[in-house]
Structure 1
Amino acid sequence: MNIKPITREDLPALSRLYEELMGIPTDETRMNDVFEAAEALGNYHVLGAFHEGKLAGSVMGIVCLDLVGSCKPFMVIENVIVSDHIRRQGIGKKLMAEIEKIAVDRGCAYIILVSGEKRKEAHVFYEKLGYREEQVEGYRKHLVLRSN
């Protein structure tokens, strides 16, 4: 098992993995453009877990600046996925440990992640890693974007 940053060459495999997670295809042309922009910003960290040379899992951590209190940054974790055919082998745990190291190295005070209400198996996984449910309400508003 090898965990390393995702590169442009890994994007087609990442797209297939995301389709497994979300159930919808990713626009790979747009994915390439967004990946390039994210790399240029430097606060996006997309890691891949490679098993026998193939992408088996991934996680994305975004380091966000904060203007409150001591103004320490925090990390938001998104798009955590381990392929169905290889789960329960410690891959997710290793991915989360690596993204947490990045958060610590960047001076983050805490990590935020959200998980869909119905993903009970994922919730158990996160709790085993030390994440605790907090009594907060999460809200999401999907926006209709205007085409230019």
Structure 2
Amino acid sequence: MDIKIREVRESDYPEIVSLWNNDLGSPNVNLDNISERIAKMKKDENYKIFVALFENNVAGCISVVQTMALEYEVGYLKINGLVVRGDFQKKGIGSKLLKHAEDYALEKGLSYLILNTGFQRTEAHHFYESKGYDKLSYCLTKKVY
């Protein structure tokens, strides 16, 4: 399976919306807001979105941001989202996207990648652990009004 990884293009947005809604289960993404959100992200060079292409169709994508923290001298790369289309899962696409993010982090001089994943996503936990990721903390969220 010949998979190519490249930065997101506007023509990819409908497929990314489908991935986020149908395969990641995050229904807060639609064509209107994804265009606005990605436009904002592109203005800040710390954000990147990469897509995995199979036969010129988006089979998966990964969203990352370079960020700073007091405990990391040069910061780290946070994976904001990783999703692979259901019919392409378990074919190495997620692994290629993760490897691309790791290579990108190294290019930027970063030594760490961090990600959050839902408690219910046990298959994802096994996947990340098989790629060398360690469970180190809980991610807690709170909506403020």
Does residue 140 of structure 2 align to residue 139 of structure 1?
Answer: yes
Report the counterpart of residue 67 of structure 2 in structure 1: 64
Helix, strand or coil: the match of 1:95? helix
CA distance in 2, matches of 1:52, 1:112: 30
Deviation at 1:25, TM superposition (A): 5.3
Report the counterpart of residue 100 of structure 1 in structure 2: 102
Report the counterpart of residue 93 of structure 2 in structure 1: 91
| Higher normalized strand content (fraction of residues) | 2
CA distance in 2, matches of 1:117, 1:79: 15
Normalised TM-score (structure 2)? 0.90
Identify the match of residue 51 of structure 1 among 45, 51, 54.
Answer: 54
CA distance in 2, matches of 1:14, 1:131: 25
Normalised TM-score (structure 1)? 0.89
Deviation at 1:86, TM superposition (A): 1.1
- Map Cα deviations across residues 66-104 of structure 1 (whole Å, 9 max, x no partner): 3x2663111110221111111111000000000111111
Structure 1 unaligned blocks of 5 or more = none
1:21-32 to structure 2, matched below 5 A, reads 21-24=24-27, 26-32=29-35
- Map Cα deviations across residues 97-119 of structure 1 (whole Å, 9 max, x no partner): 00111111112231111111111
CA distance in 2, matches of 1:36, 1:3: 20
State the one-letter code of the partner of 1:42. Answer: E
Shift >6 Å, 4+ stretches = none
The percent identity for this pair of structures is: 25
Report the counterpart of residue 125 of structure 1 in structure 2: 127
Structure 2 unaligned blocks of 5 or more = none
Count residues with an aligned counterpart.
142
CA distance in 2, matches of 1:79, 1:41: 17
Larger Rg: 1
